[in-house]
């Protein structure tokens, strides 16, 4: 059985736009992902730790037969291929990065595992994820929260701008 998934992509080191585009292309070539679609790229102010370069963000939608933890492993493997090194102590949590891939939604599932929480726990307050998500799926629903469009209406979307 296939499940609809949404993946957040972000980068702010090096040529961030090229990195996000390349990562989306790599996801499209993954044999375990079908019907891959990518939003436009958006330049967004840094979130959390604000003293760093702006980010380039996008969302990819796809279908997969993988279970959510296996999707996470795929995303972590791809991050490493793009040079991402995660600190074991979490000190780099909101810092600059070559590539960040987050499993935002896994169908309508709510998942609480030590290594994975779905929907992404901050999705409903992050315009940089909600804007591209809604571009791909205007009727998106965040399990346990409600309509993504309603969540976006409650957050500050200033500074999220589509790249040409």
Reported as a single tens digit per residue, the pLDDT across 3-17 is 999 999 999 999 999
Q: Is 84 a catalytic residue?
A: yes
CATH number of 3-162: 3.30.70.560
> In this structure, what token pair is assigned to residue 26?
């790599």
When pLDDT is averaged across residues 90-101 and rounded to a whole number, the result is: 72
- Active-site residue (options: 80, 92, 102, 156): 102
Nearest to 9 by CA among 119, 149, 103: 103
Cβ atoms of 138 and 144 closer than 8 Å: no
- Active-site residue (options: 15, 37, 88, 97): 97
What are phi and psi for residue 119, nearest 5 degrees? Answer: -65, 160
Q: Is 26 a catalytic residue?
A: no
What are phi and psi for residue 71, nearest 5 degrees? Answer: -65, -45
Domain boundaries, the chain: 3-162
- What's the sign of the alpha-carbon dihedral 81, 82, 83, 89? negative
Nearest to 4 by CA among 101, 105, 136: 105
pLDDT of 89 > 50? The answer is no
Q: Is 15 a catalytic residue?
A: no
Reported as a single tens digit per residue, the pLDDT across 117-156 is 999 999 999 999 999 999 999 999 999 999 999 999 999 8
- What's the sign of the alpha-carbon dihedral 43, 48, 53, 57? negative
Confidence of residue 84 (pLDDT cuts 50, 70, 90): confident
68-81 vs 16-28: helix axis angle to the nearest 10?
A: 130
- Active-site residue (options: 29, 37, 84, 86): 84
- Active-site residue (options: 40, 77, 91, 100): 100
């Amino acid at each position: 059985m296939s499940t609809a998934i949404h993946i957040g992509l972000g980068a702010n080191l090096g040529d961030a736009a090229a990195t996000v585009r390349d990562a989306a292309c790599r996801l499209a070539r993954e044999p375990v992902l079908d019907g891959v679609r990518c939003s436009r790229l958006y330049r967004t102010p840094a979130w959390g730790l604000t003293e760093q370069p702006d980010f380039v963000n996008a969302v990819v939608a796809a279908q997969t037969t993988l279970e959510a933890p296996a999707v996470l492993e795929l995303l972590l493997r791809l991050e490493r291929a793009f040079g991402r090194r995660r600190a074991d102590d979490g000190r780099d949590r909101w810092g600059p990065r070559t590539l960040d891939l987050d499993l935002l939604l896994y169908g309508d599932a709510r998942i609480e595992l030590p290594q994975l929480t779905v929907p992404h726990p901050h999705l409903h307050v992050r315009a940089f994820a909600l804007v591209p998500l809604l571009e791909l799926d205007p009727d998106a629903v965040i399990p346990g929260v409600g309509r993504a469009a309603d969540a976006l209406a409650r957050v500050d979307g200033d500074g999220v701008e589509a790249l040409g």
